[in-house]
Structures are given as structure tokens and as C-alpha cells.
Chain A
């Protein structure tokens, strides 16, 4: 690890991460008080839900039970946004840390300074982890405190921690995907394009797989299938092991990217 480089890396990324953290805080700050209001008028909401097509309900993680649990409304709809926004944040962060260096040619400067490519990679990896961890700590604290402040109904705080873990898992997974794409394409537009395509395929593929029988195979290729929000809320079951396996796969991808980074030609 090179602290000089880490300092520069953090300086280049911290503003964006703080802005994204604010976005997450604002989002939870608006969504959770709203959840409390919805719960207090749940009869009207349940009437509406009962009149909606089943396909639509499943597509948007709507169900009667979800709307009667305090963790349910945020855990279904709110967390879906958190997943999507978090994955976009990760892809953009990695784009800035890796792809931009290739695209703007600054990787040439770094590669000739007296640090090895391994140190360069590890330092950049550390920066990505610091930013993602920071965002997710802020997010988890925000969820826990918003529930504590605004939720008048009894809820399970462990589920809230699971939301934090799931969010972290999604972001680390998509950051690992973006790193490999950044190194292979050496271009930020390609990184964002491909990473977001994978996100859309995984997220909407998983939704589709749950509602259309013929496409049910897609769910096996989606990480969202293994950290299901509905089951987590309804059964109060936290998928720790699945999260851990996804994290291990992500670090495996990071390790493979490290090998690529060390050996691939730098073409600027």
C-alpha cells in the first residue's frame, strides 16, 4: 500500500461519496417516515393492493404482508432503490478510480513511478473499499436512526442491519464487476455501459423470473435472488451465508482483476 497514492485517491473520490451518502440519508429520511404513515392507514392501502393485478404486485415486491410489517415498505420498495442506486454508485466510483486513469492517460504516469503494479492495485482497491464502507455505514446508521425516530410500530432491528449488509454486498459485487471491465476495456463509458447492463439484467431478470415461469432460469444468474428482500422481511430470515458467498465471489473477481492489472499492457 502506498499512502501517498491513497491520499490522492481519497481526495479524488471523497466528495462524490459524501454526496451519494447524503442522497442515501435523504432517501431514508423521506421514505421511513412515509412508511410509518402508510402503516397507520394500512386498511386503505390493503384495499388498493387487493385490487391490483397479481403480476404487478409481484413485479414490485408488493404483498399484503409486506404492507403490514414496519420493515416491509422500506424493505421492499425502498431497498430496491438502494440496490439500484448503490450499484450505480459502485460502477461510477470504480470508473473514477480505474477506468478514468486509463482513459485520461494518467495510468502511464503512475505506472512509471517507483511503486509496483501490485501496490498500485492494492491502494486503489483500498480506496474503493473505504468509500463503499463509508457509504454503507452512513446508510445503515441512517436507516437505524430513522426507524428509531419515526417508526411507531414494533420492528426487528436485525432486519435493518441486514439491509445494510445486503446493500454492502451489492455494492462490493458491482464494484468488482466494474474493476474487471475497467481493466479490460480501459474506458469509462464502456465500464458504465456494461456494468449497468449487467445490473439491469440481474435486477429485472430476477423480477421477471419470479413472475414468468419460462424465464425462471434467469434468477440463478442474479445476485438479487440470493439476498431476497421479501423473504428477509416476511420470514425474518437474514441470508448471511448467501451474502458472505457473494462477497467471496466478489473478492475472487477482484483477485482475478489484480492478475489482469499486473499483466495487461497499458495502452494510452
Chain B
């Protein structure tokens, strides 16, 4: 009997294995995919393809494949720059003597995807007005608030009247976030446009299989000439481990990882592939709330900074070239950046300062919450250990990312760990994080990001916004950074670039992998220049 059961069991197992092998052999890759030049990218799924409607990295990254702006980050000496622009969809522009009226001449013959016709001044007006009018879902209207009115002069001329002179207006017009030009005809139905995007970029949207992939096709009439790549397949791959296996197997050519750790970098190197690093990327930094006891005492803030070993955190998180040790609260590559000085790592000095401030035995920060996502828990765990050594005990609770964002806007944490990227100029950066208007306040519902509750550079921010001389502006922002340094309200740790592993044996990129693109985009600034070489 037992032989009978065993033999039936064996037969079932053999049958199962046979089926598995048959399935494995029976379904080869499609020959069609091999004929076409297809670029396979592993990333996460965007939440929308409307470039004005999402702040997610993956949504912004894919937008650059489909959309363009009036200006673009200039290429200089074979590198993409940050704070300089050149014409893209605009042919030229002029500024009125009072600095408030911009006149843009548009390139002629620029076509929208899928037969939506030529791009005209009406489309430009519509693209900005839909954001200014706070159409539901728009995310970047605030970046265009400086605009007073937009007037179409003729199909290829548009005038934009500003409320006041804006020193970074041409940066705002870059094909990035609010600067993308969309087809008026297509985007009038905002809801539909989310997944039926029409732009003027090198690739057009073909289809979306939710939770699986997005397919883009080459746009033959792209104003910059037809790209070499025929098709882009953007796969939704949430796990970095799966992305790496796919890179090694050849399923993917480019990866957009959640985070590039030393382990990820080692694996990519072992495969013989490269990592394209684009700056300035995101800066990870601490803000110290000057209204929150005991951080209202400058000696405590200084002790905090002496206690933190920035280099150790940076090297643990991002060894070697995976990031750069931050040198200022305004990252390098942003207009107005200067090098700042921060208290060096010295636990003894920290203890002494704490004693002077009335905390000879240190103190405990209770109910400190930190996001469980991204770099947050790791950086804070490292900082927690360093702070403990000088007597500052942080009782940490790990929470969902959304909860963390909620809590820090309720001023629950006396110091806030934060990361981010903004338009590459000191004005928007400092305005968001140090303007008194941005102090979060649950009582009024203000959910701003001035977590330090700092008020000491409002005058400089105002002066910078009306100054037309770039040298004087640079001096103003230098002074602002010096005040921040003096008041010890911000401690930057790492400048982490946007990093995409690439199979360079199959795909060539036009710029040096090491910061050849020093500008804002989450993906390549010029995806039309990527080439399949194998």
C-alpha cells in the first residue's frame, strides 16, 4: 500500500515538474521586441502622467520623456548646467526695462503628439493658467504665482506680465515641473489628461497596463530630431532586489532605484555596469526649532551640532562617491551657494555646552517620531547614538511616512530631519525653509516647511527677490547663509545625487556618468540622446 501512495506521489511530482519545464521552454521572448530598439526601465509606477499634477520622483522622471518647456538647462563644455538656461520651445525672449514683461517668441513647426497639431502661444498660456487657476490636482501653481497675466500676441508670440520682477523667471520656464507645455486641446479635460498625456517631447504615450508598465513610442516629429530609440518600456518594479536581478539578466537597461546603497553600488559594479549620477540631488539635513525648549538656547543647538558626526553618518549611509558631504544649507549647484562652516564633531565640547546651558546630565527628547521610509530611520538611528554619547537621549518612534509629514507640521519634533530638491536657486530654497511665512502652525493650518521657526532672513529674501543684478543677489544669499550659520538652525549632512544604474554595454548616455548632468531632473535631461548600442 505504502508503495502505491509513494508511487502516486512521485507520479504527481514528475507530472508537475514536466509541466513546469514545458512552460519554461514553450514561451520564448517575442521576436518583435528584439527587432525594435526598446529601452527597458525599471522604476515605480507614476501616479499620473500629467506633468503638472505630481510631485513623485517617478512621475517627474517619466514626464521629461514626453514634455518640454520654453527653456532648458544649458549644455556647457559637454555638461548640463544647473542655473543657466537656453531656448527650448521658445526661440528667443526679451524683458521689458521695468523687469515685469517677458515676451517669448516660439519656435515654429513644433508638433504635439498624436496629431494634436502645432504648438502655439495658446498652448503656452493654457499650460500656465491651468496651474495658476488652481485646477484640481495641480501641484506647482505656487511656483508661478509671480505671474499677473498672460497674453497671446500672435500664434508664435506670448507675453507674460509679472506682478514684480522675478530674478529666476527663466528657471521657472525650464521644462521641469511647472514649466512643461501641454496641449490645450488634450488637457482641457484634466481628468482624462492624467493618463492620456500630450506633449512635444521625444516620446509619446502609447499605453498603460496598471501595476505593470507604461509604453512610450518614439515621436518622429520631435523638434530636436527623431531619437534613435523606438520604444521605452517603463516597468513598475517596487523592489530594488528585483531591479538588480533584472539588470543582470538583461531585462532592464536602466534602473531607478528607491535608494542606492553601498550594496547596490557594489552589485552594479560587479556586473560591470555604471551608475549615472546627477546633481545637485537631494540634501538630507536637520533643522533645529528655535522656539522649542531646550533648543531655544543657542548653546544647546551648538552642542547638538558638536555631537553629530556628519562625516560618519554620510560615510555609513553613502560610502565613497554615493553622496557628498554637505557644505552648505544651500546645496552646491544652486545659484547663491557658498560654503558654510559648521561646528566640528567634538562630543566633549558638546557636553561642556550642555552643562553651561543648565543640562550637565543632558536631557531626554520624548516621543520623537521619524518616518519609517527612505533615509529617515537610518540617519536618525546614527544621530541618536551620537547624541546619546553627549547625554541627549532621543526616544524614537518609527511611523508611516505620511504620519511623519503630519507630525513635523504639528511641531511635535524639536529638531526635524528632512530632505528635498527645489528649483536651483537660493531664493525658492531659502524661502521655503527659512521664510517666516512658512512656519508651520497647527492653529492656523499653516503646513509650511520652516521647521526651524526662523525669522532672521526675511529682509534678505525680500531684497533678493527685487534685485536684478546677479552679483548683488549672490551677495544677498551669501549673507543669508552666514546668518543661518551664525544662528545654528540648520545642519546639512549629505548631498545625495539622483543615481540610475545603467547597462552601458547596451545603452549609451551622452554625458559623463559622474555629475555630467548637474541639474534638477529625476531622470536624464536629454533622454532623446540615449542610444541603444547593442
User: Do A and B originate from a single complex?
Assistant: no
A residues in contact (CB < 8 Å) with B: none
B residues in contact (CB < 8 Å) with A: none
